[in-house]
Amino acid sequence: MIDLSRVRGIVFDLDGTLVDGFDGIATAVNAARAAAGLSALSRGEVTSRVGRGLDDLLASTLPATEVARGAAVFRAAYDTVCERESRPMPGAAEVLPDLSARGYRLAVASNKLASYSTRILRALGLAPALAAIHGPDTAGKPKPDPAMIDACLAAMGVERERAVYVGDMPLDVEAAVRAGVGIVLLAGGASPRAALERTGERVLAGLGELATSLPQRPD
C-alpha cells in the first residue's frame, strides 16, 4: 500500500469517486435500449456495467447489431442530461478545495469523455481545484492504459512516486499499477466494498476519510 505521507499529487476517477453520475448514464443507456425495442434497465443494473468506457457499456447492454446505432442515441440523450443528472459524491464539494488549499495538486482521469467530465465538473463547481481533466478523447486510450494518468501527472508536475490514483473499482487498481502510481479505493461507488477489499489495496469509506488520511500539507 502507498505511504500517503509522500503524496503530492492526487488523480481522481470521476463516476463513483467524485461524482454520482449514474442516473444520467442509466437514462442514456435506456434511451439506446428503447431505440432497439428493449425494456429499461435499473440504475443498479447499469451501474454494475460501467467503468471501461462507452463501447464496453453498450456491448454489455445492447445486442451486437445495435451497438453502433445505440452509441449515437446514447450520446444524444446523455448530452441533454449529463449535467442535471449528476451530483457530487459526499464530501466532494468540501474536500477538493480543501486539498487544493493545503497544497495538493489534483486532476481527473476517467473513461468518460473529457468533454463530458469537464462540463459536469464545471456545473457542479468542482473544476476550479483541478489542474487537468483527462479521458480517452484527450489521452488517446481508455483505462487501464496509463495514458490519461500520465497526462495528469505531466499537467500537475508531480513525479509518479509522489502520486496516488483514487478510484472506486478494481479496474482502477490495474490502471494505477500500469501507471506506476499508488492507489486508494473509495467505497460507495460502482463496486461493492467486498470487491474492493479483495484487491488487497487500501479501501476508505469516502472522500472525507481520504482528506483526513493525508498529511495536512504535502512535504
Residue 19 pairs in a beta bridge with: 15, 88
Give the cell for residue 131.
Answer: 489542474
Is-cis flag, bond preceding 144, omega within 30? yes
Do the beta carbons of residue 89 and residue 188 sit within 8 Å?
Answer: yes
Do the beta carbons of residue 50 and residue 171 sit within 8 Å?
Answer: no
What positions carry a catalytic annotation?
Answer: 13
For residue 75, give the amino acid letter: R
With vertex at residue 25, the alpha carbon angle to CA 39 and CA 163, rounded to the nearest 5 degrees, is 145
> HSE-up of 173 (CA within 13 Å, CB side)?
16
